Chain A
Amino acid sequence: MRHVAQQRIAPAPPPPLDAGWGGAARRLFFSSPASTAATLVLGAALFALGWQLVLWGVVHAVFGTGGAGPEACRREGAGACWAIIGEKHRLILFGIYPYAQQWRPAAAMAVLVAMYVVSALPRMWNWRLPAWWIVALGAFAVLMWGGVFGLPFVPDDQWGGLAVTLILATLGLAAGFPLAIALALLRHSASDGAGKALAVAYIEVTRSVPLLAVLFLASVMIPLFLPQGMDLSKLFRVFVAFALFTAAYLAEVVRGGLQAVPRGQYEAAAALGLSPFVSTMRVVLPQALAAVLPAIVNVFIAFFKATSIVVVVGIFDLMTAAKRAAADAQWQGFGTEIYLFVAVIYFAFCHAMSRYSAWLQARSGPVR
């Protein structure tokens, strides 16, 4: 066995130019003349812009008024006026909810956010979760409306800010979801008929009109459709419009999941003697929903952002609160700071959901 090496030969080191930090930097930023040029141009632009932003947002920014009011932000050379956030954050987060009671929407929002986190954990997906949600929504209603346990009653036209955005998104999606499943099952069903035609028409028409048109429709037309003497609160009308609109988009996603379930699953369920209802509920739907879970989360993100549109029909959500805060004549000219603050709130929620969606996608294994 002469031709077999007796000792292990150490691997040769990489060429010195490719090794270490210098090599990595060269590979990432200076791999070719074009890449070098891009790095220099983009780096210079980024530096110039970033420096201006730091000057505006940090170095020259006014973080507190020191009792001077808006004038503190109006002195020569002042940058961003973050003091306005300190001044207006209660209005932005809670709207016109009675000031002394604002711990209640804060607690109610905490309940909802805690439930979002709990529901995101796959380990919690069992029959207890809906029960917990009912308890949580009950707690939300008690906290927001009050009228029991010594809490003063607050009508829902005084709710506002982030709490309204959260409850609108949560309830709109929760109510839209069963309708979406019904629509998807109807559209997916093998036999033609009135139900299928209606489902197709509903989904296609709803998806082809803007949400704003549906919101107008709800706020203008629902009162006309209702018998006289019967009236619904504006928040409730908008919530109905949201649920109906979301359902059409969710239905298409669910239908995608139904199409992904192999035919053999239906046939196996039928062969075992399961009724069509049981096989749909226990065999087909669970697989279909699991397959499109990341896409469902993406619809949630889109609709969380879309709740901001209610500003146009006069619901006091987070966006309306921001607009109201920016319109204060005393603080005129600092709307940018307020909108950036609100942008951070929306970003935090949407970014968390999109990371969660990506995680679900990775968890379900490689895409075929």
Chain B
Amino acid sequence: MHRPPWNWKAAARQALSFAVLGGLLVLMFQVTSANLQSRGIQSGFDFLWKPATTPVFDSPLAFEAGVDTFARAFAAGALNSLKITIAAIVAATVLGVAVGLGRLSHNALARALCRGYVEVMRNIPVLLHIFLWYGLVLELPPASHAGPAGSLAIASNRGVYLAWFESRAEGWSFVLPRVDGLEITGGIYMTPEFFALFLGISLYTAAFIAEIVRASVESVARGQWEASAALGVPRGIVLRGVILPQAFRVGVPSLTSEYLGIFKNSTLAVAIGYQDFMAVSETMLTDTGQAVEVMAIVMLFYAVVSLLVSGAMHVFERRNMQWGAR
């Protein structure tokens, strides 16, 4: 192998930049530790194993304040983050694909409506969507007046109840939510905070996913449509069997970044008080005062999940490309 000759000038430049960078880091570290000492803040990650005083609600991981540790609080928050992310990804994808295909419809009314949806939704900040839905949910009637019995979903100002399967003594059964005096029972329960966050993020991201779907479908060569039509295949089957598999490959990278966007936007939970990872961390920061450690954990969590997902998608894409080449 050919090796370039040793370049003293370039090496000196590299060494100098490393030295300057290292110097800056050392300086920053010294200033920070002096600041921390003068404020009487202790450092280290020991606090993780001490009991946390602030409760975490509505998490898949049960959490009791004063008993469970900070580490468990972080885990409960992380699970809440993943819960909202997965729910919003599913809803945004379903709606986004529907709207995106609607924009390619033969029907002018469907095209216009889907176009209007995309234009309006994506030009309004996602936080505003969330506030709007949160305000609307809180304006709903109280549980005792929540309406109509026997429907698949009951919404009240205490949250939304969806019909779902439940395991009973006699086996699985489909349970409708019902008003029971001042309470609503049965089905899946979503708090107003979760519901507003879920709806806001899903409706917002669906507009972007719709654009990705449209662009990917349009990127498939016209000849594919024409060839299928010439073979007498119905339009619906052409779309499912010929066009979408090819469009999917084009859309995957953009879709991945939208999904990561959902994950990152789920931190807006802080604004309405849903206890996701970010909100829990903020509470822990106030409780312990250990800003450096808590912020390091926050950055690590989001960076590791994002980089893992985008890395996995990269591998998936590479394999996908190989299928295409075959």
List the interface of chain A (C-beta within 8 A of B).
28-29, 31-32, 35, 38-39, 42-43, 46, 191, 193-195, 198, 204-205, 207-213, 216-217, 220-221, 223-228, 301, 305-306, 308-309, 311-312, 319, 322-323, 326, 333, 335-336, 339-340, 342-343, 346-347, 350-351, 354
A234 to chain B, nearest CB (A): 16
Closest 10 interchain pairs by CB?
A: A208-B306, A28-B108, A350-B123, A210-B264, A305-B125, A335-B135, A308-B125, A212-B267, A210-B267, A209-B302
Cross-chain pairs A/B with CB under 8 angstroms, 11 sampled = A28-B108, A39-B107, A193-B14, A212-B268, A216-B295, A221-B295, A309-B127, A319-B128, A323-B131, A336-B135, A350-B122
Beyond A31-B106, A336-B139, A339-B135, whether A209 also contacts B303 by CB under 8 A is yes
Check B282–A216 contact: CB distance below 8 A. Answer: yes
Q: Which residues of chain B from 211 to 227 have any CB-CB distance to chain A below 8 Å in the complex?
A: none
Closest B-chain residue to A333, C-beta based? B139
Of B32, B135, B291, B302, the residue contacting A326 (CB under 8 A) is B135
B102 to chain A, nearest CB (A): 9
A313 to chain B, nearest CB (A): 10
Check B299–A311 contact: CB distance below 8 A. Answer: no
Of A28, A198, A217, the residue contacting B295 (CB under 8 A) is A217
CA of A245 to CA of B122, assembled, Å: 21
Q: Beyond the given A221-B295, A225-B28, A323-B131, could you list 18 further A-B residue pairs with CB under 8 A, ordered by the A residue number?
A: A29-B109, A31-B107, A35-B107, A42-B107, A193-B13, A204-B307, A205-B303, A213-B302, A216-B278, A220-B295, A221-B291, A223-B35, A224-B31, A225-B32, A301-B123, A311-B271, A339-B128, A339-B135
**Neighbouring B residues of A46 by C-beta, 8 Å:** 109, 113
A204 to chain B, nearest CB (A): 7
Check A194–B307 contact: CB distance below 8 A. Answer: no
- Contact mask B289-317 → A, CB, 8 Å, 1/0? 00110010011001100110010000000
**Neighbouring A residues of B282 by C-beta, 8 Å:** 216
CA of A297 to CA of B265, assembled, Å: 21
Check A32–B267 contact: CB distance below 8 A. Answer: no
Interface centre among B38, B285, B307 (most CB of A within 10 A): B307
Interface of B is mostly: helix
Q: Which residues of chain B from 159 to 208 have any CB-CB distance to chain A below 8 Å in the complex?
A: none
**Neighbouring B residues of A347 by C-beta, 8 Å:** 120, 123-124
Check B128–A38 contact: CB distance below 8 A. Answer: no
CA of A193 to CA of B31, assembled, Å: 28
Of B21, B106, B271, the residue contacting A198 (CB under 8 A) is B21
**Neighbouring A residues of B299 by C-beta, 8 Å:** 205, 209, 213, 217
A122 to chain B, nearest CB (A): 24
**Neighbouring A residues of B154 by C-beta, 8 Å:** none
Of B110, B120, B127, the residue contacting A42 (CB under 8 A) is B110
**Neighbouring A residues of B267 by C-beta, 8 Å:** 210, 212-213
B199 to chain A, nearest CB (A): 14
Interface centre among B126, B135, B136 (most CB of A within 10 A): B135
**B10 CB within 8 Å of chain A:** yes
Check A350–B124 contact: CB distance below 8 A. Answer: yes
**Neighbouring A residues of B123 by C-beta, 8 Å:** 301, 305, 346-347, 350-351, 354
Beyond A208-B302, A305-B125, A351-B119, whether A42 also contacts B113 by CB under 8 A is yes
Check A193–B125 contact: CB distance below 8 A. Answer: no
**Neighbouring A residues of B295 by C-beta, 8 Å:** 213, 216-217, 220-221
Check B306–A224 contact: CB distance below 8 A. Answer: no
**Neighbouring B residues of A225 by C-beta, 8 Å:** 28, 31-32, 35
Closest B-chain residue to A46, C-beta based? B113
**Neighbouring B residues of A323 by C-beta, 8 Å:** 131
Beyond A220-B295, A308-B127, A343-B124, whether A212 also contacts B109 by CB under 8 A is no
Check A210–B32 contact: CB distance below 8 A. Answer: no
Of B28, B125, B131, B291, the residue contacting A220 (CB under 8 A) is B291
- Contact mask B112-147 → A, CB, 8 Å, 1/0? 010000011011111110011001100100000000
**B49 CB within 8 Å of chain A:** no
Closest B-chain residue to A323, C-beta based? B131
Closest B-chain residue to A227, C-beta based? B31
Of B21, B270, B307, the residue contacting A208 (CB under 8 A) is B307
Of B106, B139, B265, B285, the residue contacting A210 (CB under 8 A) is B265
A124 to chain B, nearest CB (A): 25
Check B125–A319 contact: CB distance below 8 A. Answer: yes
Check B303–A42 contact: CB distance below 8 A. Answer: no
Closest B-chain residue to A214, C-beta based? B299
**B320 CB within 8 Å of chain A:** no
A367 to chain B, nearest CB (A): 11
Check A212–B38 contact: CB distance below 8 A. Answer: no
Q: Which residues of chain B from 256 to 275 have any CB-CB distance to chain A below 8 Å in the complex?
A: 260, 264-265, 267-268, 270-271
Closest B-chain residue to A209, C-beta based? B302
B96 to chain A, nearest CB (A): 17
Beyond A224-B35, A311-B271, whether A208 also contacts B109 by CB under 8 A is no
CA of A144 to CA of B136, assembled, Å: 35
CA of A346 to CA of B126, assembled, Å: 11
**Neighbouring B residues of A193 by C-beta, 8 Å:** 10, 13-14, 17
**B105 CB within 8 Å of chain A:** yes
B30 to chain A, nearest CB (A): 10
**B18 CB within 8 Å of chain A:** yes
**Neighbouring A residues of B107 by C-beta, 8 Å:** 28-29, 31, 35, 38-39, 42
Closest B-chain residue to A207, C-beta based? B306
**B34 CB within 8 Å of chain A:** yes
Of A32, A39, A354, the residue contacting B109 (CB under 8 A) is A39
B47 to chain A, nearest CB (A): 16
Interface centre among A29, A207, A209 (most CB of B within 10 A): A209
CA of A319 to CA of B129, assembled, Å: 11
Q: Which residues of chain B from 1 to 52 have any CB-CB distance to chain A below 8 Å in the complex?
A: 10, 13-14, 17-18, 21, 28, 31-32, 34-36, 38
